[in-house]
Chain A
Amino acid sequence: MWTIGALGFTAPLLLLGLLALPILWVLLRAVPPAPIRRRFPGVALLLGLTDDETQTDRTPWWLLLLRMLAAAAVIIAFAGPVLNPQTNRAGSGPVLILVDATWADARDWPRRLDRIEGLLADAARTDRPVALVASTDLPPGDLPFQAPGAWESRLPGFSPEPWMPEPDELTEWADGLEGAFETWWLSDGLAREARAPVLAALEDRGAVTVFESPRPLHGLRPATFEDGLVQVTALRARSEGASEVTISAMGLDPAGIERRLAQADAEFANGEREARAELSLPPELRNRITRFEVDGGRSAGAVTLTDDSLRRREVALLAGRENREGLELLSPLHYLEQALAPTADLIDGALSDVLLANPDAIILADIATVSPAEQEGLLEWVESGGLLVRFAGPRIASSDVSRGEIDSLMPVRLRQGGRSVGGAMSWGEPKTLAPFEEGSPFHGLDVPQDVTVQAQVMAQPDPELAERSIAKLADGTPLVTRRGIGQGQVILFHVTANAEWSSLPLSGLFVQMLERLAISTRPAQPSADDLEGTVWEAAAVLDAFGRVQDAGTLPGVEGSRLAQGRLGPDMPPGLYEGEDRSIAVNVLGPDDTLALAAWPARIPVEGLDVARETLLKGYVLALALALLAADILASLFLSGRLRGMRAGGTAAALAAALLLHPAPADAQEGLTDEERFALEVTNEVVLAHVVTGDAQVDGVALAGLRGLSETLFRRTSIEPADPIGVNLETDELAFFPFLYWPISTDQPIPSDEAYAKLNEYLRTGGMILFDTRDADIGGFGAETPEGRKLQQLARPLDVPPLEPVPQDHVLTRTFYLLQDFPGRHTSRDVWVEAAPPDAEQVEGMPFRNLNDNVTPVVIGGNDWGTAWAVDERGQAMFPVGRGYAGERQREIAYRFGVNLIMHVLTGNYKSDQVHVPALLERLGQ
């Protein structure tokens, strides 16, 4: 390897080839460019002309230079240029590679692994034994010095941990090290108290080199809820410069898919290490948030899990009467609102609306009855886990609810009337509360003596009454009763929610009771005392990269350990669940800060960047190829071929473009179905019949048109293609000059759009042959089902006045001379557009001057389709008449068809009087 600066060559001797370039120069100069051969008749005039100068046979200097560069590039390429050839890290003796391997390393962990790999490779080159130690996972005993190759194979399984090393433990370990070794310390860049003693201990053993990443490091403190806003504080390790991070709130959407629910930007001012982001979120959204994370943070510190402290319960408040306007203190809901507003989100509205919002709790203050539908909805909601809290009051006291038998939404049966104690008209004193028994949710709350009850509704003595009452008056009568329904429960306060019946709502106990009933939200963090003696189980844990993992079978964590807050292998960060609440244990606490590690000046600090070897051979060869390609163009230009190629060049470019975007080989491709259909039916004359929906009728009609088409093909210059069936609803009619419409009684009446199309078709020159196929039974005036159907079908059609085909109608002579139009039947009744009343016969002429138009409809009942029908082999499908006379009738039917199509296609051509003499001659007159 021979290097110049950052460039090295693997085969430097090849560079001597560059010396040959001047020789190549001379050689290339001597060879003129190849000539073009041109055919040119004028060459006769050129004979004998000589070139004035011989200079032009030399290649111009710039082309030579181009070729020289190409040749030089080839030589250099094969000399194997390498950018940043690896140099060795010098030194000898064992090496300790100490990796912090905390969550702060996680963000650029792959780079750290690369660096470790590089260091291991360096050590391998000089045969130094290596010990690789993570500060979060200290090895017991002596340093495990091994060959670097052994460590290299273990590297992929080496991962950071989501906690910081225990300072005392680390210092102790460092002090306990023995022997002389060099230390390469991959620091995570954060300041920690254990740094200085560990560094001192390591320096005692040998030289220390620190590797640090200059990448910014961000962290998040736990989110808090203040003043209706979610507040998240972002931290950074570096204080210089202003920067901004985006904080995302992640959670499950209603479909159960985790997604980003909200995001906010936190801006760090210059010199600040903290930035605060505030999110104003609707409660539904806020309750869904499971964690906040810094976008792109990718470390456990940049993620903070949320627990119940952020969750706010939704409570719906409904009162029976709101008729005492202005007397707010007497409102049944006033004290509830006051008690709940700071810690819960209140919903009000009609019960049916409230149920849709699926609140955590519904409080009904003195509502006796609800409508059956609402009752059902409430019951369903309670059964699926809702908490229904009812307060008594005058209405409940006077109603029949839960009297004889227990109401489905009441915890107990009630006695009529209720009772009043301590009033002016009663004997007794107002009652006080008895201390809460064990097993009651209120157990442990202090009972203030000034809370008195003057009136209450009474529960019927029942066997279950004792277990259902969770709070009692001093005289033992239940004050609060509870009954579980499905997964939810119903709770009845036997007093009013306002101060009318008792002073309970005025006391602090009221708030605490609501809190215990999980109606309102608890204060954020439980104290250490609260946690004493409890065991918490991890529901989800964070790894160092900030990914939420399933906790699996991690052992439970004691409350005291949780209160300690120090993370470790026995308590990774995550969400811990206790009896009725969950606590998030995050990497960063509410008071933590991040700071950069400060290293003494004597310690060399290197970056993580590994200068990679880049082999340049391929690039240089590509350059040589590009130069040679340019040389081709230049040579062509010089020899004058480029000019001639201009047209060809564009053609070639076009061809290349076509190769890239192959044009449709067939013009038919790329057409829509409609266009294809249009092409099919307009390239040739195509006869068509209307699809009636009756398979039998349609088949015969198609076969009939096939027979007619073949006859036309054989006998006339009309050469129709295969006939097709036309759906009136979907197909375009304008392409067809002629439609055969056999009437079937089963055919549905076409839609209005179809009729619009049909009328347009008739108005613009189309012809429809209606065939009722009933001629031998349906005479003139007699009605048949098909006849009625025809009337029904044709009613919306724009059909002109009709008359039976007159003797001199052009249909009788467009191709054959006919007087009868038989099909399978031989009725004479065929109707066409009536001749104008002023048509008159000129003296001496056999025909009248008739209308110019083609008749838009021909109506008959001779079942022509059957007479025309042929199968695939051209054989008649149905018998017509008897014997020879029948064949003659079929022949006449074909002739009628030929005449009809001729009439459609040629109009009144045969009506033209020019043809009269010839026709007269034929008629023998």
Chain B
Amino acid sequence: MSPPLSTESDFDQAGPQLRTRAEGLASVLPPLLAEAEHLASTVMFGAHGRRRSGVGDEFWQYRPMTETDEVRMIDWRRSARSDVHFVREKEWQSAQSVVIWVDGSRSMAFSGDKNRPTKSDRARLLALAMSVLLVRAGERVGLSNLGQLPRSGQVQLVRMAEALTGDLGDDDYGMPQTPGLPQHARALFVSDFMGDMEGVEAALAKAADRGVRGALLQVLDPVEESFPFDGRTIFESMGGTISHETLKAGELRDRYLQRLAERKDRLEHLSRVSGWLYQCHHTSDSAQAALLWLYAALERSR
């Protein structure tokens, strides 16, 4: 055959395959939001009534008509079956505000294994997935970092996704920030809670003052749980501000684990006394389980 077998360089240049390649690239574009949507789609959601009569779409109860009721409120269909006039009441449905705080400090950037997502990735994914669920349920969602009031709707999701794909901050450890926490809102704190507990306590106390309840999700890497180190080691925080030198890291394991357990107990205790819920999640585990727990936790506290 004579002819113009295209040479190898043809495969490199933006030739006829540009369209194909561009499509391939575009198909993976909105990763975080898509992933979050995908994760959220595994959780069934429904209408969440206030368990009391009020303004809403769902039927709540029929009650006999009282004097204060207007005539137009009578449900004639129900009333026709008896001698009393009934009024049809709907369940009170109102949108809830949920404020989510995702730890954006450097310590969240840790991953004990190249194949595992960092803690921050997992935390952000869970937060966004939860937001997706909440928005679908008609709730208002907001990030405490954004400094805006919780809003509902798809646009808010995009805004949150944008905020959550940004870089991590410079601090070594994060402290829950709840500048505009509305009264009786719900809150979700996602962090590794490795830093100072004072900040967490303060935030919880402030939230309790405002009647806010919510959930604490501690995201830990399995390495942080097992402490598989040995030999002479200088441990440094992710930002490099704190360091600790040991001659035999293996000796420290038990005491480290003990301290970690204490820290978890304290979180558990704190959350219990302030009416919150606490859960520890490991990045090696499935994100779905954590999402389910979050869903149940916010459901309960809502």
Contact = CB atoms under 8 A, between A and B. Distances in A.
Contacts of B4: 722-724
Nearest to B2: A725
A702 B5 CA distance: 13
Nearest to A641: B231
B229 interface: yes
A41 interface: yes
Interface in B150-199: 173, 192, 194-195
Contact of B248 (A53, A677, A726): A53
Contacts of B65: none
Contacts of A57: 232, 247
A39 B238 contact: yes
Contact of A44 (B223, B234, B237, B245): B237
B242 A47 contact: yes
A724 B5 contact: yes
Interface stretch (B131-139, B253-261, B286-294): B253-261
Contacts, number: 145
A858 B4 CA distance: 26
Contacts of A46: 235, 244, 246, 252, 256, 259
B233 interface: yes
Contacts of B194: 41-42, 44-45
A724 B3 contact: yes
A821 B254 CA distance: 87
B229 A34 contact: no
Contacts of B235: 38, 40, 42-43, 46
B1 A724 contact: yes
Contacts of A643: 230
Given A45-B194, A719-B19, A731-B1, A36 B233 contact: yes
A43 B255 contact: no
A33 B249 CA distance: 13
Given A46-B256, A49-B255, A56-B248, A40 B17 contact: no
A45 B256 contact: yes
Given A53-B251, A731-B1, A44 B242 contact: yes
Contacts of A676: 5
Contacts of A53: 248, 251
A54 to B, nearest CB: 7
Interface string A11-34: 000000000000000000000111
Given A46-B235, A639-B232, A640-B229, A730 B1 contact: yes
Interface string A621-647: 000000000000000001111010000
A114 interface: no
A691 B232 CA distance: 75
A201 to B, nearest CB: 82
Contacts of B236: 37-40, 43
B222 to A, nearest CB: 12
Contacts of B238: 39, 41
B1 A725 contact: yes
A666 B17 CA distance: 19
B112 to A, nearest CB: 9
Interface string B106-118: 0110100000000
B6 interface: yes
B244 A36 contact: no
Interface residues of A, number: 50
B30 interface: no
A481 B230 CA distance: 112
A63 to B, nearest CB: 13
B19 A33 contact: no
B285 interface: no
Contacts of B110: 39-41
B63 interface: no
B243 interface: yes
Contacts of B224: 40-42
Nearest to B236: A39
B76 interface: no
Nearest to A44: B194
A683 B17 contact: yes
Contacts of B240: 39
A808 interface: no
Contact of A35 (B173, B245, B260): B245
Contact of A49 (B5, B6, B229, B246): B246
Contact of B231 (A36, A39, A43): A36
Given A39-B237, A51-B246, A691 B1 contact: yes
A577 B138 CA distance: 121
Contacts of A826: none
A116 to B, nearest CB: 64
B11 to A, nearest CB: 8
A40 B194 CA distance: 11
B67 interface: no
A684 B17 contact: yes
B94 to A, nearest CB: 40
A52 interface: yes
Q: Which of B2, B19, B242 has the most CB of A within 10 A?
A: B2
B107 A41 contact: yes
A38 B246 contact: no
A52 B230 contact: no
Interface in A714-734: 719-727, 730-731
A668 interface: yes
A481 B256 CA distance: 123
Nearest to A706: B4
B244 A49 contact: yes
A724 B11 CA distance: 17
A36 B8 contact: no
Contact of A36 (B11, B192, B232, B255): B232
A32 B247 contact: yes
Contacts of A2: none
B5 A677 contact: yes
B256 A668 contact: no
B149 to A, nearest CB: 32
Contacts of B237: 39-41, 43-44
Interface string B1-23: 11111101011000011010000
A619 interface: no
Nearest to B7: A680
A727 B108 CA distance: 63
B45 interface: no
Nearest to B107: A41
Interface in A37-92: 37-47, 49, 51-54, 56-57
Contact of A725 (B3, B230, B233, B255): B3
A713 interface: yes
6 contacts: A35-B232, A35-B233, A36-B231, A39-B236, A56-B248, A668-B8
Q: Which 7 A-B pairs have the closest CB atoms?
A: A640-B231, A41-B107, A640-B230, A43-B235, A35-B232, A724-B3, A722-B4
Interface of A: 32-47, 49, 51-54, 56-57, 638-641, 643, 666, 668, 676-677, 680, 683-684, 691, 698, 702, 713, 719-727, 730-731
Interface of B: 1-6, 8, 10-11, 16-17, 19, 107-108, 110, 119, 173, 192, 194-195, 221, 223-224, 227, 229-238, 240, 242-249, 251-252, 255-256, 259-260, 263
Given A42-B256, A722-B3, 12 more contacts: A33-B231, A39-B110, A40-B110, A40-B237, A42-B194, A42-B224, A640-B229, A640-B230, A668-B11, A721-B10, A725-B2, A726-B1
